[in-house]
Amino acid sequence: MMSKETNYPSSSGRGEASSIYGDGGGLAPLLATSNPPLALPKEDQSSSFGLRKENGCKEIAEAVKVKEGEEIREGAVTITLRRGISFYSSIQAHDGHWPAESAGPLFFLQPLVMALYVTGGLNTVLSPQHQKEIKRYLYNHQKVTVRTMFGTALSYIALRLLGEDPEDGEDMAMPRGRKWILDHGGLVMIPSWGKFWAAVLGVYEWSGCNPMPPEFWLLPKMFPIHPGKMLCYCRLVYMPMSYLYGKRFVGGVTPLIRSIRQELYNEPYHLINWNKSRYTVAKEDLYFPHPLIQDLTWEFLYHAVEPVLSRWPFSMLRQKALQVAIEHVQYEDENSRYLCIGCVEKVLCLIASWVQDPNSEAYKRHLARLPDYFWIAEDGLKLQTFGCQMWDAAFAIQAIISTNLSEEYGPTLRKAHNFIKASQVRENPSGNFTAMYRHISKGAWTFSTQDHGWQVSDCTAEGLKAALLLSQMSPDLVGEKMEAERFYDAVNVILSLQKFNPTEFFEDTLIEREYVECASSAIQGLSLFRKLHPTHRRKEIDDSISRAIRYMEDTQKPDGSWYGCWGICYTYGTWFAVEGLAAAGRNYNNSPALRKACEFLLSKQLACGGWGESYLSSRNKEYTNLQGNRANLVQTAWALLSLIEAGQANVDPKPIHRGNRVMINSQMEDDVRISSNPLQRQRIRAVLPLARLAADFASPEEEQSLSIAINGGGFTSPTAGGVIGLLRHR
């Protein structure tokens, strides 16, 4: 990121900047940091301020601070909890969810700019103010130290398409970016995904891309490389990519495109060896080298298969494959209401729809849903993943209920309850969905909203838990509970995913596998359901929980940790595993796994009393502290929740007390907490500290229900997690 101070327009909290629509707003300087993401996302200042103003936020009591060696009293915890919940309630949207940024990767945005340039919609879809904010976002993330060809080249190209000249940018940003690209081999060194988009735009040749043949869709379904056997996220990205590759589609070669061709290569464009360029990649981008079998497959397809398929009569096979590919694109478009599974596929399907028919209703509907992905923060306008509305709401509900202060926040819970009920998927995908490689979804919850349509095991389990907890409360306080049949539908989805696969989401790129986080959420959701509905599919639920428990115990690492795939990393995985084991009746005395988990977490506690794990743990598969041994509030909450659930307080509560002090003293005047996560899931910073504090002050008879109520699952999410952190200390 560029170390500069800039004034930023405020955000409305609904994904669009108020300044884009001329509403004005406050200004605040960028809080620079050497490690992305930015230190304090503006959405937690401006959008939250707007919601607090709309919701008529009451005055929040002064923050409590606990000195070293001072006893943590219940009154201090209660004040901290009320402050956290009051703040969090004040930033709730009217429909019951909590607007939050769900972004992180820089490369989400540039393909949209490229796609809209190709379709001719750049200046009609993106107003001058939109474009200004996008440019500011890209400039603000120009790195001074660590760079990649992927991010640098795509950003340079996007800025050129948005009207920036080769010599523009503060501190010569464009020339510096171009020099770095050329010094590192030019655009031919961009990795394969970048080569694809550059070829679509027309600043790279398809002959420099490795094959993405649509004919794979025509293979017998039993073939191991059939797209139907891919992880859903990979399959849905491959659909439009194979369609565009099969057509060798190239956007119009304008004077600007010709200019970019001259700017980003170290040799004349027409002299480049495109065949050789298929394998060139900058060392900064080479995260995982290709296995030999992959290179051999590409060579065979490139030199033997592709030349044949381009000639009649075999070209007829290509046309049939293209038709199948676009039919899959259309099916997914319609079943996601043109939202798509995520922002990567969204842009690919948008341009595929335009290539098939520039005047199609499908393309127009794609354009209409682009604002669902926009988010403006202190660093500019960005593209989100697909939202985390449902995920955050489920955590917030569980956190607030676990504090025993829920009767004070009835309106908040009622709105959240309405959102939970409205977000459940009520039907399966249309038509013969198994032929389209889809699974049942009736009764599921997604990561975001009902429109998204993609069932996820942990999101369904967390949604089920939240709905079940609310069903035990007075309808006068939280509204009418869901019908029992809707609970049964959710259980059916969870059980079916254990048989089918655990989550229907990414990891390992091509294949799906099991996750301790998903298993844990499922155990907790099913355990609470079994308690409240003991006769419904009892044997199946018992068997499912038993299998999940065995899986978690078998996957524990020798040091007592679990590897988490959906958060950072060993702290995250261990938290989920402990919560799942505890929900199934395991405790410190009867479970060696929980004792080892406590030993692991205690060994990672920092001198300040908190925990802080770097994203490098995920990459290096080894626990790594944050630089400077800094504590991270959310990870501290995860660790403390784990220790409490495992029964560490009965052995030695002092480490928990030290962590509690960090939690209480980290609460700011407005309850906003500083973010230091590479993936932006802003509300987790608010939610998990609440959860942690709440956990310390539960009475013994509340322990069992809280063990089910205060966990999470899936990615990460932020003031409610801090609250469940204080309630179990009494």
Of 637, 667, 552, 529, the C-alpha closest to 66 is 667
Q: What is the pLDDT of residue 104?
A: 74
Whole-angstrom Cα distance, residue 97 to residue 506? 25
Residue 695 has pLDDT above 60, yes or no: no
- Residue-wise pLDDT tens digits, 307-332: 998 889 989 999 999 999 999 999 99
- Contact indicator for 20, 129 with CB cutoff of 8 Å: yes
pLDDT category, 67, cuts 50, 70, 90?
confident
Give the single-character DSSP code of 304. I
Average pLDDT over residues 240-259: 97
Average pLDDT over residues 231-256: 95
- Residue-wise pLDDT tens digits, 357-407: 999 999 999 999 999 999 998 889 999 888 899 999 999 999 999 988 999
121 or 32, higher pLDDT: 121
Average pLDDT over residues 255-273: 98
Q: What is the pLDDT of residue 43?
A: 42
CATH code for the part of the protein at 106-383: 1.50.10.20
Residue 726 has pLDDT above 50, yes or no: no
730 or 246, higher pLDDT: 246
Tell me, yes or no, if the two domains 106-383 and 389-429+437-724 fold the same way.
yes
Residue 671 has pLDDT above 90, yes or no: no
Q: What is the pLDDT of residue 690?
A: 59
Residue 684 has pLDDT above 70, yes or no: no
628 or 231, higher pLDDT: 628
Residue 20 has pLDDT above 80, yes or no: no
Whole-angstrom Cα distance, residue 355 to residue 637? 49
Residue 626 has pLDDT above 90, yes or no: yes
368 or 664, higher pLDDT: 368
pLDDT category, 171, cuts 50, 70, 90?
confident
Q: What is the pLDDT of residue 127?
A: 96
CA of residue 505 relative to chain centroid, distance: 11
Average pLDDT over residues 681-688: 51
Average pLDDT over residues 172-196: 96
Q: What is the pLDDT of residue 513?
A: 67
Q: What is the pLDDT of residue 624?
A: 97
Could you tell me the two tokens for 568?
Answer: 């950072």
Of 77, 89, 91, 92, the C-alpha closest to 667 is 77
User: H-helix or E-strand containing 380?
Assistant: strand 380-383
pLDDT category, 724, cuts 50, 70, 90?
very low
Cis upstream peptide for 313 (omega within 30°): yes
Residue 7 has pLDDT above 70, yes or no: no
Three-class SS state of 131? helix
**Where do the domains of the chain lie?**
106-383, 389-429+437-724
Share of the chain above pLDDT 70, in %: 82
Average pLDDT over residues 242-265: 97
Average pLDDT over residues 634-651: 94
Could you tell me the two tokens for 206?
Answer: 């398809």
Q: What is the pLDDT of residue 38?
A: 34
433 or 506, higher pLDDT: 433
Whole-angstrom Cα distance, residue 59 to residue 57? 7
Query: Active-site residue 559, yes or no?
Result: no
Say which CATH topology domain 389-429+437-724 has: Glycosyltransferase (1.50.10)
Q: What is the pLDDT of residue 331?
A: 97
Could you tell me the two tokens for 100?
Answer: 């939050």
Q: What is the pLDDT of residue 511?
A: 44
Whole-angstrom Cα distance, residue 310 to residue 316? 9
408 or 511, higher pLDDT: 408
Strands 28-29, 7-8: pairing kind: antiparallel
- Residue-wise pLDDT tens digits, 46-59: 556 567 777 766 67
Of 239, 230, 437, the C-alpha closest to 349 is 239
Whole-angstrom Cα distance, residue 513 to residue 516? 10
Q: What is the pLDDT of residue 22?
A: 30
Whole-angstrom Cα distance, residue 141 to residue 161? 18
Residue 118 has pLDDT above 50, yes or no: yes
Catalytic residue among 379, 392, 458, 671: 458
- Residue-wise pLDDT tens digits, 542-555: 999 999 999 999 99
pLDDT category, 24, cuts 50, 70, 90?
very low
Of 407, 444, 437, the C-alpha closest to 423 is 444
Average pLDDT over residues 11-33: 28
Q: What is the pLDDT of residue 668?
A: 74
As a whole number, the mean pLDDT across the chain is 84
Most confident region among 61-70, 162-171, 306-315, 328-337 by mean pLDDT: 328-337
Q: What is the pLDDT of residue 69?
A: 77
| Of 315-324, 686-695, 707-716, the least confident | 707-716
Q: What is the pLDDT of residue 500?
A: 45
H-only helix segments in 357-480? 361-368, 389-402, 410-423, 457-471, 475-478
| Of 128-137, 303-312, 572-581, the least confident | 303-312
Average pLDDT over residues 403-422: 95
Q: What is the pLDDT of residue 55?
A: 75
Whole-angstrom Cα distance, residue 556 to residue 596? 9
